[in-house]
Amino acid sequence: MPSTKLKTVRIMIRRRDGRYLCVIDNDNPTRIGLPGGRIEPNEFTEDAATRELWEETGLIANSLLLIDTSNFCENQVSLFVGSHIEGSLKSSIEGRVAWCSTKDLVTGFFGDYYFNVFKKLGYL
């Protein structure tokens, strides 16, 4: 039986100082990542990115641009850049929000994914 890839989204919001909006798992502080999660059945990829960003951070990106789709750990990850942000930043059940460095992301739990995608995008 062929394996079914889980389709997920991640949303990159980068401040002028080069730090990224991240979600840090409440139970495991090494699980640092960009906001995101799985795409629900029959949900459009961009709609999933909008929903996940809102659920995890309380923010709305009025502009989302798909910049990468890659495979990681048997999953398909669609990476968006969000801009023209509105709302009030808040933590959620998924974890607390923080502004993290590139180093925080590439040395964290999902470091291999972030290293590969940042290298591909020319951020490293």
Maximal C-alpha separation, the chain:
47
What is the mean pLDDT for each group of 10 consecutive residues in the chain (124 residues)? 79 95 92 95 96 96 95 92 94 92 92 92 85
CATH of domain 6-120: 3.90.79.10
Side chain identity, residue 74:
E
Secondary structure (H, E, C), 19-44: CEEEEECCCCCCCEECCEEECCCCCC
Write down the pLDDT at residue 5.
82
Domain coordinates of the chain in residue numbers? Answer: 6-120
**pLDDT of res. 3:** 56
At residue 75, φ and ψ (nearest 5 deg) are -110, 155
Instruction: Report H helices in the chain.
Output: 45-57, 102-106, 111-120
3-state secondary structure of 42: coil
pTM: 0.91
